[in-house]
Amino acid sequence: MAQIMTISLLFVSLTILGFLGTVESRSRARTYLEAQCKPTLYPDLCVRTLLPFANKKEVPSPQKIAQISLTTCLAKARFTKAYVDMIAKEFNRTRNPEEYQALEDCLQQINNGVNQITQSVKELRKMGNDGEENFTWHESNVQSWVGAALTDTTTCIDGFLGDEIGSKAKSMIKARFLNVKQLASNSLALLNRFTARHRASRAIKNP
């Protein structure tokens, strides 16, 4: 009986230690990501976006962090595109020409945004793997495309300030566009952090 109790206590102790170790690792990962996300305009969103990709064995590099943020932004942009397209078709079926017209520009803008962010994701993966001489060129492309996507989402959000679309549909669409805008903004800040650190490390290696 005493042996069984000893084994049970040992099992409970190991379980608690494992749990505490996981909590501690998670806490270290959060602290690391909070430091990485500090330059962003939406740091809480930044940490929430990145935390599922950090584990106790490895935390993502600055380049990987920028890639995760941008890939998440692309997924949200695609979801928003599908949602706006669904709402526009519904307005068209129910013969709401004013509401349908009000969504046409946003559909074009989110289509442009999806294309721009898709290009940015591909371009970011090449940075550092395509020769140092091409690093700045890839960086400029990503900055331009993400900046253009930010402009498109901002234009669409500003365009919904009128009363052409019902308040419920308007608020749902604006919330989705706002999320894409915030993710794009964070991605741009994380890209700039990565490129600054990359240049600093190159300067140390090649003084």
pLDDT of residue 71: 96
Task: List Cβ neighbours of 207 (8 Å cut-off, separation of 6 or more).
Answer: none
pLDDT in tens, 107-132: 888 899 999 999 999 999 988 787 78
- For 115, the domain range is 3-205
Cα torsion 159, 164, 170, 176: sign: negative
Is 124 in contact with 70 (CB distance < 8 Å)? yes
Biggest distance spanned by C-alpha atoms of the chain: 79
Cα torsion 127, 133, 138, 139: sign: positive
Nearest to 166 by CA among 73, 98, 81, 71: 98
The per-residue pLDDT of the chain, averaged, comes to: 81
pTM more than 0.85: no
Nearest to 83 by CA among 170, 187, 146, 186: 170
pLDDT of residue 14: 42
* The total number of structural domains that make up the chain: 1
pLDDT in tens, 22-59: 444 567 888 999 999 999 999 999 999 999 988 756 77
Q: How many residues are there in the chain?
A: 207
Q: Is a pLDDT exceeding 60 seen at residue 148?
A: yes
pLDDT in tens, 157-181: 777 655 556 667 778 888 899 999 9
CATH number, domain at 140? 1.20.140.40
Cα gap 91→101, rounded to integer Å: 9
pLDDT of residue 18: 46
Q: Specify the range with the lowest mean pLDDT, choosing from 85-94, 163-172, 184-193.
A: 163-172
Task: List Cβ neighbours of 75 (8 Å cut-off, separation of 6 or more).
Answer: none
pLDDT of residue 160: 64
pLDDT of residue 155: 85
pLDDT of residue 16: 44
pLDDT of residue 60: 86
